[in-house]
Amino acid sequence: MEVTVVEGDITTQDVDAVVNAANRRMRGGGGVDGAIHAAGGPEVLEDCRRRFPDGLATGAAGWTTAGRMPARWVIHVVGPNWTAGERDRSLLESCYSGALAVADEIGARTVAFPLVSAGIYGWPKDDAIAAAVDTLRSTSTSVEEARLIAFGRQAFDEIAAALSSRPPSG
């Protein structure tokens, strides 16, 4: 699988699925979650309510429609909240590996990822990037491209540096 980085808006990516850094309730929120719900329209929230009436656990992944976005699906993951004391890196890694497993289940070959937990949840950005790059590169999947979406030039430069300095495994 090719892991790439693109600076831009995750909601406008022309991919099979976009990954949403959701909260446990799965009812919309701020940051990436709010942007995805706004761009996807009410269909995303309706599908979240129907498919996940009790939400999702931290580290878990599940899919819904992407509503009005160019992508076909949204793969929702619930990252650990560093600020609230959830600091188990395996939960962060499971967001990426779980999203790839869901992508395989639904047949998605191109998937756009945000940096899970690196925003309001406060995960240190350098470790969030390392967890994303290492997990995406080491997880067995039928996905052909995992696209990390950088929000801003600084994030793009940091992710690009990690991609070039952290050799692919295997």
Active site residues: 33
Three-class HEC string of the chain: CEEEEEECCHHHCCCCEEEEEECCCCCCCCHHHHHHHHHHCHHHHHHHHHHCCCCCCCCCEEEEECCCCCCCEEEEEECCCHHHCCCCHHHHHHHHHHHHHHHHHHCCCEEEECCCCCCCCCCCHHHHHHHHHHHHHHCCCCCCEEEEEECCHHHHHHHHHHHHHCCCCC
- In this structure, what token pair is assigned to residue 150? 């950088």
Assess contact for 41 and 11: CB atoms under 8 A.
no
